[in-house]
C-alpha cells in the first residue's frame, strides 16, 4: 500500500512540474516576458472633500505604471496642475524621474495613434524664442508644448481615452494602427524636447481634449490618480 501511495505521489509531482513548465514557456516553448506588476498608491482613507475647481468627467482605472515596478512620485511638482513658470503654463501629466534608457511599457492595451520614429531636437535659440513667446503671451501654445514633450508615443484606449509617453530617447518598432498589449515595450526613457529636465518619463492620460485631473485640488488629484492605477 505504501508503495502504491509513493508511486502516485511521484506521478502527481511530475504532472504538476510539467504544467508549470508549459505555463512558463508558452505554447511555442519560448520564454515569455514576465507579467507587468502594477504599483499604486494606497486608497486614501476617505474621499476628498475639497470642492473641485471643475467637474471631472469620471474616475478611470485599469492602468499600470508604465515603468513597471516603481511608485507614483509624491512630490506635487511631478503631478498634473503644478506650475511651469519658465513657459507660463501648467503640467499636464505625471513625471517619473529615472535612468535614461529605462524601458517604457504600455499602461493599457490599445491602438498606436502616434509614434515618433523620426525626431529632431530644436536648437537652443529656437527653444529660447519659444519660451520667451510663451512668457509674453501668458500661456504655452499647443505647438510649443508638443515640441517640449520631445519624442512621443500615443496610445488610444477607446472611449476618448489616450495615453501619451513623452521625452523618449527611442521608440519600439511600432506603426500607427498597431495594437499593443498592456505591459508591451513601446520605448525608452530620455530627455528629448527638454534636456534641462534630465531623463524622465512624462506620462499623460488624456480624456477627450483635456488631461486627467485638470483643475482638481491636490487631495482629489491624488485620489483620481490612485484610482487610475488600480
pLDDT of residue 182: 96
Report the pLDDT value the prediction gives residue 19, as an integer from 0 to 100: 31
Q: Give the percent of the chain with pLDDT over 90.
A: 49
Q: Which three cell numbers stand for residue 16?
A: 504538476
State which H helix or E strand residue 207 sits in: strand 200-207
Q: Distance between CA atoms of 189 and 65, rounded to whole angstroms? A: 14
3-53 pLDDT, tens digit each: 333 333 434 334 333 333 333 333 222 233 444 444 444 444 444 444 444
pLDDT of amino acid 54: 52
Mean pLDDT (the chain, rounded): 79
Q: Which of 46-50, 126-130, 159-163, 226-230 has the lowest mean pLDDT?
A: 46-50
Identify the pLDDT of residue 230: 85
Across 197-217, average pLDDT: 92
pLDDT tens, 64-84? 999 988 889 989 989 999 888
Cβ of 160: how many Cβ atoms within 10 Å?
12
Contacts 24+ apart (CB under 8 A), 119-123: 119/150, 119/151, 119/192, 121/150, 121/192, 121/193, 121/195, 122/147, 122/193
Cβ contact 168:104 at 8 Å: yes
- The answer to whether the CB of 153 falls within 8 A of the CB of 114 is yes
Per-residue confidence (pLDDT) for residue 8, from 0 to 100: 38
Q: How confident is the model at residue 56 (pLDDT cuts 50, 70, 90)?
A: low
Taking residues 188-196, report their average pLDDT.
Answer: 93
Q: Is the pLDDT score of 180 beyond 60?
A: yes
Grid cell at residue 89: 503654463
- Checking if the pLDDT of 195 tops 70, the result is yes
State the pTM of this model: 0.77
Q: What is the DSSP letter of 190?
A: B
Residue for cell digits 494606497? 42
What gap in Å lies between CA 69 and CA 34, rounded to an integer?
Answer: 12
DSSP 3-state of 162: strand
Q: Of 101 and 10, which is predicted with more confidence?
A: 101
The fraction of the chain above a pLDDT of 70, given in percent, is: 75
Which of the residue ranges 32-36, 102-106, 188-192 would you say has the lowest mean pLDDT?
32-36
Residue 223: φ, ψ to 5°: -65, -45
Between 27 and 94, whose confidence is greater?
94
| Strand pairing class (83-84; 103-105) | unpaired
Amino acid at each position: 500500500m505504501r508503495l502504491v501511495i509513493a508511486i502516485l505521489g511521484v506521478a502527481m509531482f511530475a504532472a504538476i512540474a510539467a504544467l508549470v513548465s508549459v505555463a512558463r514557456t508558452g505554447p511555442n516553448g519560448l520564454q515569455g516576458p514576465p507579467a507587468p506588476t502594477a504599483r499604486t498608491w494606497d486608497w486614501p482613507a476617505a474621499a476628498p472633500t475639497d470642492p473641485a475647481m471643475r467637474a471631472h468627467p469620471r474616475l478611470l482605472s485599469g492602468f499600470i505604471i508604465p515603468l513597471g515596478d516603481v511608485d507614483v512620485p509624491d512630490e506635487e511638482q511631478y503631478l498634473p496642475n503644478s506650475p511651469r513658470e519658465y513657459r507660463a503654463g501648467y503640467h499636464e501629466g505625471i513625471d517619473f524621474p529615472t535612468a535614461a534608457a529605462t524601458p517604457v511599457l504600455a499602461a493599457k492595451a490599445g491602438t498606436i495613434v502616434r509614434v515618433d520614429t523620426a525626431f529632431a531636437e530644436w536648437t537652443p535659440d529656437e527653444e529660447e524664442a519659444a519660451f520667451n513667446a510663451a512668457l509674453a503671451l501668458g500661456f504655452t501654445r499647443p505647438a510649443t508644448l508638443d515640441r517640449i514633450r520631445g519624442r512621443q508615443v500615443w496610445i488610444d484606449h477607446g472611449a476618448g481615452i489616450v495615453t501619451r509617453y513623452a521625452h523618449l530617447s527611442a521608440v519600439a518598432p511600432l506603426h500607427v494602427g498597431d495594437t499593443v498589449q498592456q505591459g508591451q515595450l513601446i520605448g525608452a526613457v530620455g530627455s528629448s524636447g527638454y534636456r534641462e529636465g534630465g531623463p524622465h518619463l512624462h506620462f499623460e492620460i488624456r480624456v477627450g481634449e483635456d488631461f486627467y485631473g485638470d483643475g482638481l485640488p491636490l487631495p482629489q488629484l491624488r485620489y483620481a490618480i490612485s484610482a487610475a492605477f488600480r
